[in-house]
Amino acid sequence: MSDLEELGISTNEEHSYSSVKATKESITENQDSTNRCKKKPCPICGKLLHARWLKKHARLHQRKKEDINENRSHFTVVVDAENGIFCSSVNLSGPSYPVHVMKKTSGIQQTSFCDHSACIDLKETAKAGGNLSFECPHVRSVACAKNGQIITLKIDSLTRMKEENFITSERFQEMKKLSEGDNDGSPLLVRIPSHPFYSKRYIYISVFTGEKRYWCKTGRTVVTFDTEEKTFTCQCSNQSRYCTHKALAKWFVWQEVPDLISSTPNSEESRERPPRHDRATSFLFEYLTSTKKIPEKIPTEVLKEFSQKHLDTFTVIPSEGSCHRCNGGLASEIAKQRSRIVLMNKVIEGNGTFSFQMFNNSHVILYLKTYLVLSFYSSDVTVYHKICPRCHISYRYQEWTQGIHNYNNSLFIGLDVCTFIRAGLLV
């Protein structure tokens, strides 16, 4: 018997091999049990995953939850079912406003398009990357669209608007023709129903334009009516410019809620403006040239004296008390704020009067530079103009006898400055 046998250690090779195999199997079983302990079930789908992959797996469920579905979509309204035009809210939650969307899945021209600028950029990027079927969330929300309110306009209400001088005869004929036209099978006006995310202050109306341009790529535009300010806003122009789309929206508001317009006709920014070459404009031109023209020789007292009321109130108001055409009353409105009055030795702004001295004639350039430096100050010299609600004539400040000249309602130049510049040009 060998020494190993005496110690109880077997020398059988088969026994040694089986011992090693059993050891490896026990190690494998321990590793499997350890791995099973590291796996955890997904709380949403119950799938068994390693702990380190569980967070990434949860993101997949979050993406599916955030995708557009019947329970989570942009508020969308059907505007023109035949041509596949809808109005969708820009945001899923919070303050929002409608934007036009087109999705047509039948006929020869099948297309999908969103008029929102951010979505247009996204689609162009996806197209450049080869994703031709990309659709923004607004387009995908079309499947959950609701019906809009198609507006039926009545000629009687349009006639009353004309009788009360809210529109001219030319605008009356134009709007009447549009209401009686076919409009390519599209409704002329569609009101966007109210939504919890839409402000109750505004009324949104989809208006047919009859053309596709950069501001109405779907052939329709959104006109917004502010019930507090009594103003109309259109995508084709700013508030100061009047257009047919605003006139059509005003027709609807006048027909459905006339108190919102008739209660304050004079303060409405979107009132009808007369054509440029009409009798009222000719009358105003003759009135200005006959009474407001600055004479060639300005009296000395006008050059030396400046009305102190501008320094006290920082307001500029026309002197007309009544309309010189119909003798009716005038309504005062703010034409411009943050204006300036520039004299030879001072710049008058709402936050103060900045004075400086001119040493010689060559310092006129220094004066102009000083004015530009001062222009960054916040100024609020308020400029008013008076408007006749019947003749639609606007009287702006042109009182040269007070020593200043109205250049463009933003800048008022003293007659001493005008005389100085003219003298320099004649040298």
What does the alpha-carbon distance between residue 115 and residue 87 come to, in Å, rounded to a whole number?
Answer: 10
Element (H, E) at 37: helix 13-38
**Cα separations in angstroms, 207 against 86, 193, 202, 247:** 12, 14, 16, 10
Do 101 and 114 contact (CB within 8 A), yes or no? yes
Give dist(CA 335, CA 406) in Å, integer.
12
Alpha carbon distance 180, 413 (integer Å): 52
Distance from C-alpha of 99 to C-alpha of 25, rounded to nearest angstrom: 67
Within 10 Å of residue 285's Cβ, how many Cβ atoms? Answer: 10
Segment (H or E) for 384: strand 381-387
DSSP codes, 43-98: TTT--EEEHHHHHHHHHHHHHHHHS-BTTB---EEEEETTTTEEEEES-SSSS--E
Distances (CA, A) of 367 to 138, 372, 404: 55, 9, 17
Structure tokens at 317: 């108001």
Assess contact for 347 and 376: CB atoms under 8 A.
Answer: no
Asked whether 104 and 110 are in contact (CB, 8 A), the reply is yes
Sign of CA dihedral 209, 212, 215, 221: positive
Q: Terminal CA-to-CA distance of the chain, rounded, Å?
A: 138
Q: What is the pLDDT of residue 79?
A: 94
CA atoms of 181 and 202, how far apart (whole Å) = 28
What are 283's two structure tokens? 């009358």
- In this structure, is the dihedral angle defined by the CA atoms of residues 196, 202, 206 and 211, taken in order, positive or negative? negative
DSSP state of 360: S
Token pair 């809620």 is at which residue? 257
Count the residues in the chain: 427
pLDDT for res 105:
85
Would you give per-residue pLDDT tens digits along the chain (427 residues)?
555 455 454 455 444 445 555 555 555 555 555 545 578 888 778 788 887 777 777 777 666 555 777 778 889 999 999 899 999 998 887 778 899 999 988 877 888 999 998 999 999 999 998 998 899 999 999 988 988 899 999 999 899 888 887 888 888 888 988 888 888 888 999 999 887 777 888 999 999 998 888 889 999 999 999 888 888 999 887 766 778 899 999 999 989 888 887 544 433 333 444 444 456 777 888 888 888 888 888 787 776 665 544 555 678 888 888 888 888 888 888 888 778 888 776 655 555 444 444 434 433 333 343 343 333 333 567 888 888 877 778 888 888 888 888 888 888 888 888 888 888 887 6
Give 3-state DSSP helix, strand, coil % of the chain, rounded to 5: 35, 25, 40
Residue 21 host element (H or E):
helix 13-38
Distances (CA, A) of 40 to 47, 49, 61, 64, 115: 8, 5, 16, 21, 46
Q: Residue 358: CB partners within 8 Å, gap ≥ 6?
A: 344, 345, 364, 367
Distances (CA, A) of 133 to 23, 47, 70, 122, 125: 59, 32, 21, 12, 12
Residue 402 in tokens? 């007070």
Q: Would you state the structure tokens that stand for residue 329, as one six-digit string?
A: 């009353």
Q: Is 388 exposed, middle or buried (0-12, 13-18, 19+ CB in 10 A)?
A: buried
254, 235, 266: which is closest to 329 by C-alpha?
Answer: 266
CA-CA distance, 390 to 336, in Å (whole number)?
23
Does the pTM exceed 0.85?
Answer: no
Asked if 149 and 78 touch (Cβ cutoff 8 Å), the reply is no
